[in-house]
Structure 1
């Protein structure tokens, strides 16, 4: 599955063998769901239902969680969230992150609330697929930091999902764009302009066919290469909604200032309803020049109605519209391209439907380059699902597409020199450059004599990242085990001409997560000049320990076609070029042995802290309890619905004319009273009953209704049952009569007299049983339990039919045997001499024919 998780909406994509790639529907049969969750009385409510409850329970309804995922409490986005929404947000002292005080006993992290929505997405996929789905690809914004990406991964983990990869929104759209198109070896540039509810991104993407060597052959694959990205973190449709909400609030106070006791802005419920109405009005104004906002009983039971024009909306959002062009201009400048170098600008996201936004883009790139040839709402989720299929072992795609995505912010390694006269003189080495390829692994070389540490940070300061507090830090790394290894081999190190070499591997995953998977030290050992044969061979071919592995030296393509690069970056004690050069070992008569020892690496996240193990365990326990309550609630609702539907269905059943024939007035009246009593109970004291109470009442009603329904059923089937018995008996009798007439003319009869007599006797017995039961039934009447039942009729008909079919199969076997064999005169003479031998042969042929002509026998049975 895939989840396109946005600020206001999320979509769920699904791909399964036998099911085409498509969007999974929610419980309302909609293709997208509001990214909102309401928690009330230990019940989680999602989507449109949660939005409907926001006006009544705004403090328990959580909107726009993506905007604060992975953000510190003092970050400007968190501050803005507290101004716009009424949820009780406090600071988590251990993490310095926002935490919501849901009630007096429950604290909820942003990750846990997002996990609830991911669970809802998983349920949508399960309902569509008919089975549980765990593997997922989730979209994120390309400017998402390590902390924001980790928050999404933690939320997915709490939801029980296995994240195959994160993928940038625009890259997913580009992948969906490339699936149905053909490209040449000449690069073709497009800009994907995505304005959603929370942010705006413009990505310059190049499409081309590239040649890849696979063994001895070369093949061409389509490739998506992201060149550059421009973005605005806070320019989105939600900003337009907030402006329009304030405009409507001002209009309400202006119209009803003398009627209300308090300002509408002091009512959390009224403002939540007004925000919902503002979003609706904005969408309608995209297609109309004017619209009337209307909310019944908005504040202090006063109805509100106000006309809004498109011109007014554009006027109040003029500063926002002035920022529309910036992302695309930034992206083109970073890619060193002109507008004429771009073939088209593909519009994505719900907010690009605003006419003023499209006019601003026309001013930059021209109307002829604006393309609307992708589904603005669903392209990302479908592209992400295709990406998941390429990562999964369950699928073999006919069209493999290579992806080269980039990271926006450069990442550097900072460390203190081991021997330095100046304290605090840190050395900075940029490891992953701006717009550098993701999915790469790099190796740093250090000259160290003891355990050491270093930091991984964004090269841009927090102020340069839109002044996001604390988002410049990524992690602190401790490398240990080096001191002990060097002490153990200190004699060898002193006698060696080359110092130990420390290598640390730093990886940037396809999801944009930086990690430090391993570190090692290589020590040169001279062995007092005595070299073994193995050492000589290693010296001749080159020491494996002294070099990066083949996978570390060569570029390669992963299964998902994401380019992987490995580079060795030397880290010296100063920044001089001379000391950064690789030391060339002088040739000596001695042949040293190179020993490689793994070192221990401890990675400590810095900046906004991810969820701790303790916090995850607490969240999992709470989710487990909520899941159990949800399950019990479903059982209760199913039991209630079953009882309620049974009451209505049985009341209608009692109106049937046949029921009056098969039941007495007393029985009917008794059942009607019980149904009426149950109906009253359902809507009174049974309103909040447990599932067991519903099931118990249902069983009691079913026991009363079952006898009546059985009589009703048997009354309607009785004539048919008698006819079936008569037909089966007549078929058997006719078969016996015809077989005896035919065998009287044949020299070799197929059936024995005993076989025919047995069939005829069985038919007569069944006929007598029918006559007896029909007579008994007529004496009893229709208002008692019947003695001639459908089940008994089926059994009697089955006995006659099976006995008849056995003889029919014997005849077919005999006929086939005679056709397939041409006996000689001697064989005929032998048959006349030994009739018992012939009977044995007939039996053998019968068994063989039964095995080989099963479908023919079924055809005969159908004809019968």
Structure 2
């Protein structure tokens, strides 16, 4: 998919010594004579080759075929033809020798014989009693091997080795002399670079001027069309609308008569005058168009915040002692923020509806966003606190520890007193603890308790 060939190879077959050749434009008959004059000289370069005879003499023989001297050219992305290299090319036919194949076959046969002898020697060492039988078997095997090899050699057809073609390349020294396109000197390069920079700046200024002209013309025409629409004309007083129409009409008339030849700065100045006059009108129109969506978004946020507030009240210390995530102060701040925002929104909507579209705006989209941001911060704070909240671990009080120590000390004292008392006292105490409650007529029990 290249627009022109990028590589070219020229082959010289008849030269046997050093020579030179010229590179020229060819097939220019289709170009008119007046255009050929702009091309100038059709001779591009001259290439001088040396070392041709020595390269040919190095590769001689019956099996060597000369393919000539090949000059490789390459055309870069700028369309300039460059000489890459020059080389002598020859092809040599190489075949495998029969001696090598015969020796390889003999070597394989001898290796087989040696391998069979080694195996037989191992068997002889292991079975010393059957030496005679093994010797006869060995002779039979060798004879069989000899007969089989002879049969194979007799039956196998002669295979002729295939010839191989090897390409030989020898570099040729070359010198290229460019005739038409000489490299730039230092001064010429600087001058060319300065000229390109100047052309770029001219293009940049031209683009800026055209952009300013198009912006002014488009804005004036678009504003005139919008002033005839009710949704825009209602956002300003009739006097302001007429003044804007007159200004846009004057600018359009000036452009069509003699304004196209003006400078960029004048176009930008005219555009700034119209924008300064129309910005308040377009701002009011934008506010009236965007306000319903902003009010709807705030009401949705207030509804969601109310639901979240109801849920959050269940996670206070009074409602749920185990999950006391929020404090009363935090709940009160969110409730206060929601209540204030609702009352502010209702009051602002009433005030704004009482005004005309051309009056100054009371309920702006930015003020609604600020109120929504305040509610959003409070809700996010409580949500983050709920995410990081963890139940408290039960901690033993100091009073409980003290009571446990007192109980332990009392038990130790009781045990010491029990060890000091005689055995009879212990039995009496056990009877006292384990006997059933007193019954009427039990005189012995009554006497025992009276004694105690």
Length-normalised TM-score, structure 2? 0.52
- What secondary structure does 1:457 align onto? strand
For 2:302 and 2:226, the matched residues in 1 are separated by: 36
Instruction: Tell me which residue corresponds to 1:229.
Output: none
Query: How has the CA–CA distance of structure 1 residues 609 and 734 changed in structure 2, closer, same or farther, with 3 Å as cutoff?
Result: closer
Question: In the alignment, is the contact (CA less than 8 A) between 2:291 and 2:365 conserved in 1?
Answer: yes
- The 5-angstrom pairing of residues 710-859 of structure 1 reads 710-741=283-314, 743=316, 745-747=319-321, 748-778=323-353, 780-814=355-389, 828-830=393-395
Instruction: Tell me which residue corresponds to 1:649.
Output: 222
- Partner residue of 2:268 out of 695, 699, 719: 695
Question: In the alignment, is the contact (CA less than 8 A) between 1:732 and 1:804 conserved in 2?
Answer: yes
Question: In the alignment, is the contact (CA less than 8 A) between 2:21 and 2:48 conserved in 1?
Answer: no
- Partner residue of 1:624 out of 190, 197, 209: 197
RMSD: 4.3
Q: CA deviation at 1:620?
A: 4.2
For 2:274 and 2:168, the matched residues in 1 are separated by: 71
For 1:706 and 1:462, the matched residues in 2 are separated by: 65
Structure 1 unaligned spans of 5+: 5-138, 141-166, 168-404, 414-426, 431-455, 480-505, 518-563, 571-600, 819-826, 835-864
The yes-or-no answer on 1:513 pairing with 2:82 is yes
Q: CA deviation at 1:719?
A: 3.4
- What secondary structure does 1:767 align onto? helix
- Partner residue of 1:672 out of 245, 269, 277: 245
Question: In the alignment, is the contact (CA less than 8 A) between 1:457 and 1:472 conserved in 2?
Answer: no
- Partner residue of 1:685 out of 258, 265, 268: 258
Structure 2 unaligned spans of 5+: 30-35, 51-69, 76-80, 87-166, 399-452
For 1:609 and 1:808, the matched residues in 2 are separated by: 77
- Partner residue of 1:474 out of 45, 50, 54: 45
Q: CA deviation at 1:714?
A: 1.3
For 1:736 and 1:410, the matched residues in 2 are separated by: 96
- What secondary structure does 1:626 align onto? helix
Question: In the alignment, is the contact (CA less than 8 A) between 1:729 and 1:764 conserved in 2?
Answer: no
Q: CA deviation at 1:707?
A: 0.6
For 1:464 and 1:749, the matched residues in 2 are separated by: 96
Q: CA deviation at 1:717?
A: 2.8
Q: CA deviation at 1:793?
A: 0.9
Question: In the alignment, is the contact (CA less than 8 A) between 2:8 and 2:74 conserved in 1?
Answer: no
Instruction: Tell me which residue corresponds to 2:18.
Output: 429
Q: Describe the superposition over 1:795-853 as per-residue Cα deviations: whole angstroms up to 9, x where unpaired.
A: 21111022112223433444xx67xxxxxxxx8533x869xxxxxxxxxxxxxxxxxxx
Instruction: Tell me which residue corresponds to 2:124.
Output: none
Instruction: Tell me which residue corresponds to 2:136.
Output: none
Query: How has the CA–CA distance of structure 1 residues 631 and 566 changed in structure 2, closer, same or farther, with 3 Å as cutoff?
Result: farther
Query: How has the CA–CA distance of structure 1 residues 463 and 713 changed in structure 2, closer, same or farther, with 3 Å as cutoff?
Result: closer
- The 5-angstrom pairing of residues 577-588 of structure 1 reads none
Q: CA deviation at 1:781?
A: 3.4
Instruction: Tell me which residue corresponds to 1:407.
Output: 9
For 1:713 and 1:655, the matched residues in 2 are separated by: 17
- What secondary structure does 1:662 align onto? coil
For 2:234 and 2:308, the matched residues in 1 are separated by: 40
Question: In the alignment, is the contact (CA less than 8 A) between 1:636 and 1:690 conserved in 2?
Answer: yes
Query: How has the CA–CA distance of structure 1 residues 686 and 465 changed in structure 2, closer, same or farther, with 3 Å as cutoff?
Result: closer
| Structure with the higher strand share, 1 or 2 | 1
Question: In the alignment, is the contact (CA less than 8 A) between 2:284 and 2:361 conserved in 1?
Answer: yes
For 1:779 and 1:652, the matched residues in 2 are separated by: 29
For 1:462 and 1:714, the matched residues in 2 are separated by: 71
Query: How has the CA–CA distance of structure 1 residues 765 and 712 changed in structure 2, closer, same or farther, with 3 Å as cutoff?
Result: same
Instruction: Tell me which residue corresponds to 2:440.
Output: none
For 1:428 and 1:474, the matched residues in 2 are separated by: 21
Instruction: Tell me which residue corresponds to 1:708.
Output: 281
- What secondary structure does 1:710 align onto? helix
- The 5-angstrom pairing of residues 171-210 of structure 1 reads none
Q: Describe the superposition over 1:128-186 as per-residue Cα deviations: whole angstroms up to 9, x where unpaired.
A: xxxxxxxxxxx35xxxxxxxxxxxxxxxxxxxxxxxxxx1xxxxxxxxxxxxxxxxxxx
- What secondary structure does 2:358 align onto? coil
Question: In the alignment, is the contact (CA less than 8 A) between 2:213 and 2:260 conserved in 1?
Answer: no
Question: In the alignment, is the contact (CA less than 8 A) between 1:412 and 1:457 conserved in 2?
Answer: no
Question: In the alignment, is the contact (CA less than 8 A) between 2:45 and 2:178 conserved in 1?
Answer: yes
Question: In the alignment, is the contact (CA less than 8 A) between 1:725 and 1:767 conserved in 2?
Answer: no
For 2:290 and 2:373, the matched residues in 1 are separated by: 17
- What secondary structure does 1:513 align onto? strand
For 2:290 and 2:25, the matched residues in 1 are separated by: 82
Q: Describe the superposition over 1:475-510 as per-residue Cα deviations: whole angstroms up to 9, x where unpaired.
A: 47899xxxxxxxxxxxxxxxxxxxxxxxxxx98454
Query: How has the CA–CA distance of structure 1 residues 464 and 740 changed in structure 2, closer, same or farther, with 3 Å as cutoff?
Result: closer
- What secondary structure does 2:18 align onto? strand
- What secondary structure does 1:704 align onto? helix
Q: Describe the superposition over 1:351-374 as per-residue Cα deviations: whole angstroms up to 9, x where unpaired.
A: xxxxxxxxxxxxxxxxxxxxxxxx
User: Which of the pair has the greater relative contact order for Cα pairs under 8 Å at 6+ separation?
Assistant: 2
Q: CA deviation at 1:780?
A: 4.8
Q: CA deviation at 1:692?
A: 2.0
Query: How has the CA–CA distance of structure 1 residues 472 and 812 changed in structure 2, closer, same or farther, with 3 Å as cutoff?
Result: closer
Question: In the alignment, is the contact (CA less than 8 A) between 1:410 and 1:458 conserved in 2?
Answer: no
For 2:41 and 2:328, the matched residues in 1 are separated by: 101
> Structure 1 residue runs of 4+, over 6 Å off?
461-466, 476-479
